[in-house]
Amino acid sequence: MWYRRDVIAAREFTRADLEELFEVAKYMERYARSRVDFLRGKVMALAFFEPSTRTRLSFETAMRRLGGDVIGFWGAEGTSVEKGETFADTIRTLDAYADVIVVRHAHEGAAKLAAEIAENPVINGGDGSSNHPTQAMLDAYVMWREFGAVDGLNIGLVGDLRHARTVNSLLEALTNFNVKVRLICPEFLRPRAEVLDYVQSRGLKVSFHTSIDEVIGDLDVIYVVRIQRERFLDPLEYERAKGSYRITLETLKRAKRSLIILHPLPRVDEIDHRIDATPHARYFKQAELGVPLRMSLLYLILTSG
Amino acid sequence: MWYRRDVIAAREFTRADLEELFEVAKYMERYARSRVDFLRGKVMALAFFEPSTRTRLSFETAMRRLGGDVIGFWGAEGTSVEKGETFADTIRTLDAYADVIVVRHAHEGAAKLAAEIAENPVINGGDGSSNHPTQAMLDAYVMWREFGAVDGLNIGLVGDLRHARTVNSLLEALTNFNVKVRLICPEFLRPRAEVLDYVQSRGLKVSFHTSIDEVIGDLDVIYVVRIQRERFLDPLEYERAKGSYRITLETLKRAKRSLIILHPLPRVDEIDHRIDATPHARYFKQAELGVPLRMSLLYLILTSG
Amino acid sequence: MWYRRDVIAAREFTRADLEELFEVAKYMERYARSRVDFLRGKVMALAFFEPSTRTRLSFETAMRRLGGDVIGFWGAEGTSVEKGETFADTIRTLDAYADVIVVRHAHEGAAKLAAEIAENPVINGGDGSSNHPTQAMLDAYVMWREFGAVDGLNIGLVGDLRHARTVNSLLEALTNFNVKVRLICPEFLRPRAEVLDYVQSRGLKVSFHTSIDEVIGDLDVIYVVRIQRERFLDPLEYERAKGSYRITLETLKRAKRSLIILHPLPRVDEIDHRIDATPHARYFKQAELGVPLRMSLLYLILTSG
């Protein structure tokens, strides 16, 4: 199901796809701190037109733990993009050298375009404000690992749910499972209508809330993304709102003992650093599991099984 | 003939050198998408003082496909060059770590200077506006692969033939073969007199033309390089001229069916993108063959056979 | 003594530690130009918030010669630090991917903080103006290799001895040996009182001099660091002083034949380039030995022996 497949949007993947991905990722965990030669002789190209630490380094680490090699660029400086080369020509060139291309770009649709151009598989490492499918796969994988299953979970999403590409992709991925989703954000930062229409048409149960306090007691997972001051027209409104979308020790007083807190990182101040030491914090574990998850992804795409 | 040899200028290489390089490159094609351990334990340093995507990534890919490792820098930011270190000291340092150094630099003569300083072999990855020998080797290799031989070909070079280092190097390389070269450019963008004198003294047959249309019907190969607006004193003259040096579907109507179009890339708009889908386009294939060609080069330089 | 140990400051290492390090480094010299698989499956992360060529590339080369892999960033551009991520979160992320982290940072204490955060070992690749322990280990190693022992040497340090972190670390490392140290600098560029107090309390014999000429005849080793014009309040004073702290062929006329000149590099003009060709120059050899020294360090930290 995965061999030589492009990974452009989370919505392209079925429950069976994700379960296979998760099973292989779990198996890969044993090699995530050592090395195995499953992808020896394969080269992954990174075409990162936009900055990234976590996505880039976890892909790199995953490829190297599997015995493969990595080439590419991050940031457009020092590349032929500066000389006026088209995106298409840059992708064609990487396609001539590598066996798989990971694209990150500020413009929506860049990964899809790359996939149409390249003969080799293309993985979307985040484009525009809509898609970051491998992050969504990772997010769902962390839930699956922590609770043994995604079905039955009560999941809160908090922050700027309109512009965070991880949120869009995660909502799409969650349509494959029987979960309840609480969207916690100011009204004007709700996911776009087309995203909501899509996930609800696929049967995802979502409800809307304007404060964490309303729902914290029921949640199994709370997934936090940044909420930026610049999104608010009125700075005073931001000052009033921000307490409602920030996780503090106070917030957690009414939480289930088993609640886990996820965050795609980097965070600024939307999670109090004192939370890091609590048993709820799972965002660094989440970053760590990015390696076996991406090992699984690369393995499934690059080997015919 | 190749072991531990510096590669500074195309003119240093004989027909026998190039034929050996091509034969080994052809053999390496079988490993260009997998991996072989011929250079295991060898480290290549990249000293790229000037931006590059293709040259850098094809050298990196070549080294990795051969089981070797890569260190270095591209762009002078973040290196000790910024702290005022001399070019010589930087090269000496890389020489202390690596087994071969690839230098790319805006100043003519940089690679030669590096070769005088370093004990290990130095490869010129492009310096100034005169030399880019590995690109010229690749260009000739593509012709050799496509037609079975370079001898007998009718080769058109079009664009700014004065300032393109790939053109100078290619002309030098072609003096080893029995070919006809058509130089297609405005008079003031002809190769410098010293270059023309050199290649003609070596017996290369060249003729001058100011429009592609004059010669397109006879060509086996057309090699296109950019022609920059800034080179023209009068912008109107540029507007008048540019149609003569741009390849379009219209241009190809009178071409041989077997004509191939090469370009060192990146291109801006000197080849219409609709050409990409025609059987004449060979510039992406050319990029792809950069890997086995450079595998051959690194193998010949770093192993005693 | 070394397994999974952090390397933050030179003063944490005993004579026995250093002797073990040197013995293993000497053994590693045989692999410094080839490859051995002692660290196969290990990943080193570089967190270089500050530019570096030598430290970065010698760590990279060392890791690759040992069969390990390297990930990371150099320069904060294009990383999540730009998005406002804290230093702590960046380190935690690298800790989630890699087996050892090398940190370089403009702020003193950065490496220590990283070591408190990370579960995996942290190596200080230079922080603030106080610590550069692996450079000091290398400097002492070069003396040990050149003279067979460090004990008994007469060592001159010349230049800005107050702000050079390599000097502070080297003084600390030298307290483990029975050496005489000549500090050659303007009074206001002497090492800070706390550094002098510490090394003298540990029994290091130091004396103060304002010109190389005073001591050159007695020295076995002269270690040169830059002295920057900006440190002088009065530019005229700089012009008067600089001759006293610059090594020229003239300076060496009264030197022992066995004198060796070291420099952590990069240099600007504090050593006349004509010295490079004399048998006294050992700074490029010193750069070269950075590879086996760091191979030894990585090997000792990452393997349980």
pTM of the entire structure? 0.94
**CB contacts, 8 Å: A117 with chain B:** none
pLDDT at C77: 55
**CB-count exposure of residue A304 (10 Å: 0-12, 13-18, 19+):** exposed
Tell me the mean pLDDT in the region A76-94.
78
Tell me the mean pLDDT in the region C20-44.
95
pLDDT at C79: 59
Pick the residue with more confidence: A84 or B114? B114
B8 and C CB contact within 8 Å: no
Q: What is the strand order of the sheet B122-127 is part of?
A: B69-74, B43-48, B100-105, B122-127
Tell me the mean pLDDT in the region A198-211.
97
Residues within 8 A of B (CB atoms), C 9-38 only = 33-35
**What is the DSSP code (8-state) at residue B191?**
P
Residue C100 — very low, low, confident or very high, per pLDDT cuts 50/70/90?
very high
Tell me which amino acid residue C160 is: D
Q: Indicate which of B53, B273, B284 best probes the interface with A, i.e. most A CBs within 10 Å of its own CB.
A: B53
pLDDT at A80: 60
pLDDT at A78 over 60: no
Return d(Cα B185, Cα B162) in angstroms, integer: 9
pLDDT at A156: 98
pLDDT at A82: 62
Per-residue pLDDT of A160-172, as tens digits, reads 999 999 999 999 9
CB contact under 8 A, A57 and C45: yes
- List all chains that touch chain A, counting a touch as 3 or more CB pairs closer than 8 Å: B, C
pLDDT at C1: 86
Per-residue pLDDT of A244-271, as tens digits, reads 899 999 999 999 999 999 999 999 889 9
Q: How far is B20 from chain C (nearest CA, A)?
A: 26
B291 and A CB contact within 8 Å: yes
**CB contacts, 8 Å: C57 with chain B:** 45, 71-73, 93-94, 97
Q: What angle do CA C90, C91, C93 make, to 5 degrees?
A: 65
> In this complex, how many residue pairs, one in chain A and one in chain C, have their CB atoms less than 8 Å apart?
76
Tell me the mean pLDDT in the region A13-36.
96
**What is the DSSP code (8-state) at residue C295?**
H
pLDDT at C302: 98
Closest Cα to residue C61, out of A65, B45, B117? B45
Task: State how far Cα C212 lies from the chain centre.
Answer: 22
Tell me the mean pLDDT in the region C60-67.
96
CB contact under 8 A, A96 and B265: no
* A137-146, A242-251, B51-60, C233-242: least confident range: C233-242
pLDDT at C227: 87
- What are the C-alpha distances in Å from B146 to residues A68, B150, B220, B259? 31, 9, 10, 10
Nearest to C73 among A53, A266, A284 (CB): A53
Tell me which amino acid residue C71 is: I
CATH fold of the domain at A133-287:
Rossmann fold (3.40.50)
Task: State how far Cα B202 lies from the chain centre.
Answer: 20
pLDDT at C81: 64
pLDDT at A233: 80
* B234-238, C8-12, C206-210, C280-284: least confident range: B234-238
Closest Cα to residue B64, out of B88, B46, B40? B40
Return d(Cα C125, Cα A260) in angstroms, integer: 36
pLDDT at C305: 67
Average pLDDT over chain A, rounded to an integer: 94
Residue C82 — very low, low, confident or very high, per pLDDT cuts 50/70/90?
low
Closest Cα to residue C128, out of C118, C138, C116, C113? C113
pLDDT at A81: 64
Long-range contacts of C269-278 (CB under 8 A, 24+ apart): C270/C159, C270/C224, C270/C225, C270/C226, C270/C227, C270/C245, C270/C246, C271/C224, C271/C246, C271/C247, C272/C246, C272/C247, C272/C248, C273/B86, C273/B88, C274/C248, C274/C249, C275/C247, C275/C248, C275/C249, C278/C249, C278/C252
pLDDT at C76: 55
Tell me the mean pLDDT in the region C93-115.
96
C41 and A CB contact within 8 Å: yes
Q: What is the strand order of the sheet B221-224 is part of?
A: B205-209, B180-184, B154-158, B221-224, B260-262
CATH fold of the domain at C10-130+289-302:
Rossmann fold (3.40.50)
Active-site annotation holder among C11, C42, C55, C263: C55
C231 CB neighbour count, 10 Å cutoff: 15
Half-sphere exposure of B177 (CA within 13 A, CB side): 24
Highest mean predicted confidence (pLDDT) among A82-86, B73-77, C98-102: C98-102
Instruction: Spell out the residues 6+ positions from residue A167 whose beta carbon is closer than 8 angstroms to its own.
Output: A157, A159, A161, A191, A223, A225
CB contact under 8 A, A72 and B57: yes
In sequence order, which ranges of chain B are alpha helices (DSSP H)?
A: 15-28, 54-65, 87-97, 110-117, 133-147, 165-174, 193-201, 235-242, 283-302
> Which phi and psi angles does B98 have, rounded to 5°?
-110, 170
Q: Which residue has the tokens 């730009």?
A: C82
β-partners of residue C103 are C47, C124
pLDDT at C230 over 80: no
Active-site annotation holder among B4, B5, B26, B54: B54
Tell me the mean pLDDT in the region A124-144.
96
Q: Is C132 marked active-site?
A: yes
Q: Is C90 marked active-site?
A: no
Residue A50 — very low, low, confident or very high, per pLDDT cuts 50/70/90?
confident
pLDDT at C74: 86
pLDDT above 70 coverage of chain A, percent: 97
**Domain residues of chain B, as ranges?**
10-130+289-302, 133-287
Q: What is the strand order of the sheet A100-105 is part of?
A: A69-74, A43-48, A100-105, A122-127
pLDDT at A225 over 70: yes
CB contact under 8 A, C89 and A266: yes
Task: Name residues of chain B where pLDDT drops below 50.
Answer: 78
pLDDT at C196 over 60: yes
CB contact under 8 A, B89 and C288: no
| Residue C207 parent element (H or E) | strand C205-209
Question: How many DSSP H helices and E strands does chain B contain?
Answer: 9, 9
Residue C80 — very low, low, confident or very high, per pLDDT cuts 50/70/90?
low
Nearest to C60 among B71, B84, B93 (CB): B71
**CB contacts, 8 Å: B35 with chain A:** 40-41
- B10-130+289-302 matches B133-287 in fold: yes
CB contact under 8 A, A92 and B287: yes
**Would you list the DSSP string of C176-203?**
TS--EEEEES-GGGSPPHHHHHHHHHTT
pLDDT at A104 over 80: yes
- What are the C-alpha distances in Å from B198 to residues A104, B205, C15? 47, 12, 64
**CB contacts, 8 Å: A263 with chain C:** none
- Helix pair angle (C87-97, A283-302), 10° resolution: 40
Return d(Cα A123, Cα C232) in angstroms, integer: 55
